[in-house]
Amino acid sequence: MKSSCVFLSILFSLTAFQVNAQEKDQVNQLVIITNHPGPVISKDIYGHFSEHLGNCIYGGLWVGTDSKIPNTNGIRNDVLFALREIKVPNLRWPGGCFADTYHWKDGIGPKEKRASIINTNWGGVTEDNSFGTHEFMKLTELLGCDAYINGNVGSGSVREMSDWVEYLTSDAVSPMTKLRKENGRDEPWKVKYFAIGNENWGCGGNMTAEFYASTMKQYSTFLGDYSGNQLYRVACGPSDYNFAWTETLMKDAGTRQMFQGLSIHYYSVVDGWDFKGSATKFTEREWFETMRLNLEMDKIIKGHSAIMDRYDPQKSKGLVVDEWGNWFNVEPGTNPGFLFQQNSMRDAITAAIHLNVFNQHADRVKAANLAQMVNVLQSVILTKDDKIVLTPTYHVFRMFRVHQEARLLNLDLRCEDYVFGDKKIPAISASASVDKDGKVHISLANLNPNKQITVTCPLIGDSFKKITGEILTADEMNSYNSFENPENVKPVIFNRFTLKDGILRIIMPSKSVVVLELTK
């Protein structure tokens, strides 16, 4: 391993030297080793999150079977169709903070008998539980994705959580499987991910790390693997830079099979929680600050991974970044508890930065979930009655889907800075992978909103015959898709590149996201 690292570093320096001798603009160089594939990029890094919050579920995904909006089993068809295009690999539900208030039995059985409850976290609105376990599992089936269910630790019980898993996944004879059958579902479902609470250091019960670690072990002990289903149990991890929480959990439970994944949450919040700024009316300072905060994701992952490495050097446990994205002020005139925000070219760059970072950490990051799927925070889709808008973030997810289950390629990026005031960040974000057919995909973002950048890219290892590309960019930093102008920001074919003597030169317009496909 060590010698191959040495080999690669020699290769990098040699390549840099050769390219230096040949090319003039040396500042932006991306060396890619195409024939030494690394770890598989889990498709689950491209996951999504649907909470009972505002109009994510109700109106966004679910309109009910009696709706005039065309639907399949109550799920709106336009949204389903769009989501299938981005190959959603897994969907997290029912929260978020809502999860630790959710009692799953409220959401099963005949609709007219389901309890109406108060959604205490999100606007105090009535939750009629018309969307529950069966509806969610149908949604995952229609999307062709895995279920990621978040259990209730904060206000639930061990028995309640254990029963839910049995109800969902067992085909044995038991009160829970009998109940499921009475509710119209004979066969058990498969559930891939199951989280043991959400943000239990906060809305999930305000627990200390020590208390949560003990509680989590107790809950985990009673979450069965039934009928061939193998749960990937996700323990509640910290947010941001709370490395002490990770340390406690790994020390207390990290070496036993109590959990397979540890969640982390990180939102980019410009200027603090009191005034997060507008999603569409912002200055270059806010643009820069957003990018700077987005790039912190790399440091956060490195920090938590380093702790995990000490207890789990084999990397058998995954980091699950099950909430991430930009969090801005709600759109004026909308319910502050509904977290509805527009989505601009800035969010597209944010998505590209995060997905590149997750790809780069494919050895440890095994799943991630954008917050959230529809109508909440950095959504991929916005809906208004029967209309939908695909956001710039949506387009990035569609462009980047080529990385799902591909193998990460080693790269060395040396690029200029994007300077604003007395601060600077790297101007380019990148990652690359090779898929099962041998096609190489390179995804790049130019974070500078004012400057075109040419990236020189020596390809070491293979020769390529054909290259195609797609680009997402816009006239303004804050260009967005509205219900009136839904195609203002959309990807187009990209051909501003050349390949000569194994060196690819890519001309990246300011504020752009590019994905290239290289065929041998």
Catalytic residues, by residue number, are 199, 323
The stretch among 95-103, 174-182, 225-233, 504-512 that binds ligand AHR (CB under 6 A) is 95-103
x/- string (CB under 6 A) for ligand AHR, residues 377-416? x---------------------------------------
**For ligand AHR, which is the closer residue by CB, 167 or 397?**
397
Is 97 a residue that touches ligand AHR (CB under 6 A)? yes
**For ligand AHR, which is the closer residue by CB, 259 or 288?**
259
The span from the CA of 209 to the CA of 285, in Å, is 36
Is 374 a residue that touches ligand AHR (CB under 6 A)? no
Is 323 a residue that touches ligand AHR (CB under 6 A)? yes
Helix, strand and coil content of the chain, in percent to the nearest 5, comes to 30, 25, 45
**For ligand AHR, which is the closer residue by CB, 37 or 54?**
54
Is 166 a residue that touches ligand AHR (CB under 6 A)? no
CB-based contacts of 123, cutoff 8 Å, min separation 6: 54, 335, 336, 337, 338
Is 231 a residue that touches ligand AHR (CB under 6 A)? no
Q: What phi, psi does 45 have (nearest 5°)?
A: -65, -20
Binding to ligand AHR in span 462-501, by CB under 6 A: none
Position 310: which residue type? R
DSSP state of 190: P
The pair of three-digit structure tokens given for residue 6, joined into one six-digit string: 């040495």
Position 469: which residue type? G
**Shortest-Cβ-distance residue relative to ligand AHR:** 96
Are 401 and 436 within 8 A, CB to CB?
Answer: no
Binding to ligand AHR in span 13-72, by CB under 6 A: 51
Is 371 a residue that touches ligand AHR (CB under 6 A)? yes
Interface with ligand AHR (CB under 6 A), residue total: 10
**For ligand AHR, which is the closer residue by CB, 107 or 449?**
107
Is 95 a residue that touches ligand AHR (CB under 6 A)? yes
Q: Measuring CA to CA, which residue among 125, 4, 109 is closest to residue 56?
A: 125
Q: For the CB of residue 240, give the shortest distance to ligand AHR in the complex, in Å.
A: 11
Q: What phi, psi does 304 have (nearest 5°)?
A: -70, -35
Is 289 a residue that touches ligand AHR (CB under 6 A)? no
The pair of three-digit structure tokens given for residue 318, joined into one six-digit string: 């995954």
The stretch among 38-46, 86-94, 370-378, 466-474 that binds ligand AHR (CB under 6 A) is 370-378
The span from the CA of 122 to the CA of 467, in Å, is 47
The span from the CA of 301 to the CA of 292, in Å, is 15
**For ligand AHR, which is the closer residue by CB, 372 or 431?**
372
Is 163 a residue that touches ligand AHR (CB under 6 A)? no
Is 322 a residue that touches ligand AHR (CB under 6 A)? no
The span from the CA of 251 to the CA of 214, in Å, is 12
Are 52 and 94 within 8 A, CB to CB?
Answer: yes
Is 198 a residue that touches ligand AHR (CB under 6 A)? yes
Quickly count: other Cβ atoms within 10 Å of residue 428's Cβ: 24
Contact positions toward ligand AHR, by CB under 6 A?
Answer: 51, 95-97, 198-199, 323, 371-372, 377
